[in-house]
Structure 1
């Protein structure tokens, strides 16, 4: 590897991925497909807002493949915007932000595997802010919300990693399947 490319890779991924964190919060209802991507952190601050990339409903025909939730973007108090892996389908919806404080807890809405029918996996997410206010995501209402994760309290969400299914070509795609968040003091 060229030395200058190595420096660019370190500056792009090494610093963002090496922030100290106190814990990882997760939920138990994530779907099984895909692989975990790179973890990313707010360089200094905490996440106070989020944005979802959602694939619109494709129609009732079996050949029209819905993928549901394709990405989660966190907006940090230091001005940074972070995300882990993001699917290729859908568009970014508007931000949802804590009226005051930062994100501390989450719950994921997931559709169970559908057998021979169209699978979507994760479809929506909601967060709880520092002072107890819950923010609902702007994804689909397919599936059920699982239990709330543990809380980062007394800290806040500062990083993200997502589990993403690959593009299966003509097969049944699901995009985002699971997510974990990192907590910092």
Structure 2
């Protein structure tokens, strides 16, 4: 009986370890978070750039102002990944995705001769809770800092027009990825459609540095 219990426990640990390896296939050196994310919905599985590649730009899925209807604003974030020297495409990655709105366009870090910059920190625009009788939208927009992979000297803000959503305010910046690392993965907290109730879609996000 004891041997059976040990075997089952060992098998359970092995399965959980394999599942974790599938979820986190990269060597994560820092997890980036902000303190103003909203509280509705569930965290979805993270998604990562291909090995050896990092995020160079992003796209947002946003529902426009519904006026008298139910607003959700930001529904998803999509990252585009490339290798450090820019020669290899590392895929497009996203975590959970809300049901509303459209992809609004790409914005990417600078690419110049001899330089190749990556996303290294972020700030999230979030509308605070509006109370039981008002329309909540939660996260509205996201912006990033770009930086050279191997140096933290030249850091600059990346956000595409108009630079903000319709509701809420930006919070503080997250930590930055260490030198010789950049954002390589994403995990989002998304509320599923609420039928005739108040929808908020994307509420919060984490990014991973590799």
> Which interval holds the TM-score relative to the shorter structure?
0.7 to 0.9
Which residue is equivalent to 2:107? 96
- CA-CA distance at 1:19 after TM superposition: 1.5
Which residue is equivalent to 2:38? 31
Report which of the two structures shows the higher radius of gyration computed on alpha carbons. Answer: 2
1:67 & 1:14 partners in 2: Cα distance? 33
Contact 2:127 2:169 (C-alpha < 8 Å) held by counterparts = yes
Q: Which of the residues 61, 78, 84 maps onto 1:53?
A: 61
- CA-CA distance at 1:153 after TM superposition: 2.5
* TM-score, normalization by structure 1: 0.87
Secondary structure of the residue that 2:206 maps to in structure 1? strand
Runs in 1 of length 4+ with deviation above 3 angstroms?
13-17
- 1:148 matched to 2:165? The reply is no
Instruction: Write the deviation string for residues 3-23 of structure 1: whole angstroms up to 9, x where unpaired.
Output: xxxxxxxxxx96574222111
Is 136-145 or 68-77 further displaced after alignment?
136-145
- 1:114 matched to 2:140? The reply is no
Which residue is equivalent to 1:8? none
1:49 & 1:31 partners in 2: Cα distance? 24
- CA-CA distance at 1:86 after TM superposition: 0.5
Which residue is equivalent to 2:29? 22
2:31 & 2:39 partners in 1: Cα distance? 19
1:135 & 1:83 partners in 2: Cα distance? 18
Instruction: Write the deviation string for residues 157-185 of structure 1: whole angstroms up to 9, x where unpaired.
Output: 0000000011100000000000000001x
Number of matched residues?
Answer: 169
* TM-score, normalization by structure 2: 0.77
Gaps of 5+ in 1: 1-12
Root-mean-square deviation over aligned CA pairs = 1.5
Instruction: Write the deviation string for residues 36-74 of structure 1: whole angstroms up to 9, x where unpaired.
Output: 001011012000000000001101x2xx10001000000
Which residue is equivalent to 1:181? 207
Gaps of 5+ in 2: 1-19, 83-87, 112-116, 148-153
Secondary structure of the residue that 2:105 maps to in structure 1? coil
Secondary structure of the residue that 2:155 maps to in structure 1? coil
Q: Which of the residues 83, 87, 94 maps onto 1:83?
A: 94
